[in-house]
Amino acid sequence: MREKSMISMSKDYFNLLNKEKESAISYLLEALIRSREENHFPSNKKIYDEDVNIYLAHLLLAYATSSYQDLVAKYLSAYDSEIRELVDSARDRYVKYFIFKVNADYLLIHLGVFQDLGGVIRFGSRSVNRSERYFAQNAISYYQEAANYNQKIYHKKTAVKDVLEKLADYFDDYRDLLKKTRSHYFHFMNHFEDNEFKNFTNSIASYEKEFSRKELENKLLDLYLEWKKKPTPELESLIRIVVGEIQKMDPVFRFQI
């Protein structure tokens, strides 16, 4: 029933005068649900997947921010071999997870919304010739790998792992859903770029900073607990790096082993 109530909202529910992040997420959620209904792919038709709606809405919003683009840029590649080299060279499991996840997300968004993959394409500074199916298969593989690393990081099945597995198992369905949602998303993007939206983008940056700090603090706790069990110079070095990243956000933060 939440789905029906969301569909009944006005198409103009996204109010530029409302500077809250929740307003944008609500608009994008409504767009996804409306597209599902119009194309006979309602939530929970195959599995319970309202959680995927929420994930996709947050992902679409992230792609509208330059800070997200800057964050993931150095981890993206059109070459599967390069991505796996990046993963192999990363010592931290969270970084490995992040690399697989952001590349899978990139392929899903560009196959579904922007539809600019397939044939000869520009990817960063290079041109590559690949089919859409090639990229789709890579995305499925990356979501599966990301789900596996999520399990290794948290030592249990998490809500995020569930979502990543659903995106891998039903990738074609979600890609097609985003194809149907693209007109709503471009409408959102046109408003998102308006000058009156600057305050909103500032609030997003503040939210992202707060979220990033929480993620770093969780990572620090995991590393510290691991170090308590088996102290090693490598773990101590990683702990100091994470502490340094937190201190960049909060200079008064202190942590000592």
DSSP summary character for residue 114: I
Give the lowest-confidence range in 30-39, 67-76, 182-191. Answer: 182-191
Position 111 scores a pLDDT of 95
Model's pTM, two decimal places?
Answer: 0.68
Per-residue pLDDT at 141 exceeds 70: yes
Greater model confidence, 2 or 211: 211
Interatomic CA distance for residues 20 and 55, integer angstroms? 18
Position 254 scores a pLDDT of 84
Per-residue pLDDT at 160 exceeds 70: yes
The mean predicted confidence, pLDDT, of the chain is: 81
Give the pLDDT band of residue 100 (cuts 50, 70, 90).
Answer: very high
Contact of 171 with 136, CB cutoff 8 Å? yes
Give the pLDDT band of residue 94 (cuts 50, 70, 90).
Answer: very high
Q: Which two tokens stand for residue 108?
A: 């899903």
Interatomic CA distance for residues 44 and 249, integer angstroms? 40
The overall longest dimension of the chain from CA atoms, in Å, is 57
Position 55 scores a pLDDT of 94
Per-residue pLDDT at 162 exceeds 90: yes
SS (H, E, C) 168-202: HHCHHHHHHHHHHHHHHHHHHHHHHCCHHHHHHHH
- With both helix axes pointing from N to C terminus, report the angle between 93-109 and 132-154 in degrees, rounded to the nearest 10: 150
Interatomic CA distance for residues 230 and 93, integer angstroms? 17
- With both helix axes pointing from N to C terminus, report the angle between 50-62 and 93-109 in degrees, rounded to the nearest 10: 90
Position 17 scores a pLDDT of 42
Position 31 scores a pLDDT of 92
**CA dihedral (248, 229, 151, 93) positive or negative:** positive
Position 48 scores a pLDDT of 87
Dihedral (C-alpha) 235, 238, 242, 247: value to the nearest 10 degrees?
A: 100
Give the pLDDT band of residue 122 (cuts 50, 70, 90).
Answer: low
Position 173 scores a pLDDT of 94
Q: What are phi and psi of 33, to 5 degrees?
A: -65, -40
Q: In the chain, where are the structural domains located?
A: 19-193, 197-257
Position 189 scores a pLDDT of 78
Per-residue pLDDT at 131 exceeds 60: yes
Per-residue pLDDT at 41 exceeds 50: yes
Position 174 scores a pLDDT of 96
